[in-house]
Amino acid sequence: MSITLNDIGRRFNRDWIFKGVNYSFAAGESYAVLGPNGSGKSTLLQVLNGSLSPSKGKISFSLDGSDVEAEQVFKHLSLAAPYLELIEEFTLAEVIDFNFKFKPYKPGINQVGLINLLNMQSSKNKLVKYFSSGMKQRLKLALAFCSDTPMLMLDEPTSNLDTQGVDWYLSLVERFSAGRLTIICSNQEHEYSFCSNSLNIVDYK
């Protein structure tokens, strides 16, 4: 999956969050979207994943040389973000099974393997609403990384994770991000230090 932005801007009411963005995201490359809290990183990510329309400009999506409509981008995307809710009335096993009704597993992964990856074998039948914030974040990340999609988008991926959790996140990056268009929204270097490219949202105010 590749994404091309031509003079993209997004505003709320009369205030421009960003404008004049001309940028290309190439298939298989890794990108960090940088900027302080409240600068518009998450808004840009929502434009990039087709859940928000730009207020001006044109965004184009392409997969293996064929155009993809913005409304269809979700089929090719895995996303983990603080504002993305889990179904808390489901057990861990039910959340995993529900997610993979819509996206295929990465090769070599199944429900058991994903639970082992999370090290949550004893929580398989526990309702997600009883999980700690760190456990919920781990689950969001594991679902995104282990879904076999050409595009991976992560917003503040280590929020609610301790030092051990950060190391675990980086191990997922090493194992599951190769060959995917990977976009990380962050202002913490340890979350995006592996990225080959960066875009600072402040440059488009």
Reported as a single tens digit per residue, the pLDDT across 144-163 is 999 999 999 999 999 999 99
Give the total number of structural domains in the chain: 1
pLDDT tens, residue by residue, 82-93: 889 999 999 999
* Cα(94)–Cα(125) distance, integer angstroms: 8
The burial of 152, by beta-carbon neighbours within 10 Å (0-12 exposed, 13-18 middle, 19 or more buried), is given as buried
The burial of 108, by beta-carbon neighbours within 10 Å (0-12 exposed, 13-18 middle, 19 or more buried), is given as exposed
How do beta strands 15-25 and 66-68 pair? unpaired
For residue 179, the enclosing domain spans 2-204
pLDDT tens, residue by residue, 157-181: 999 999 999 999 999 999 999 999 9
CATH code at position 47: 3.40.50.300
Which of 182, 202, 199, 193 lies closest to 29, judged by CA? Answer: 182
Output the pLDDT for position 182: 98
pLDDT tens, residue by residue, 8-44: 999 998 899 999 999 999 999 999 999 999 999 999 9
The pTM (predicted TM-score) of the whole model is 0.94
186 touches 34 (CB < 8 A): yes
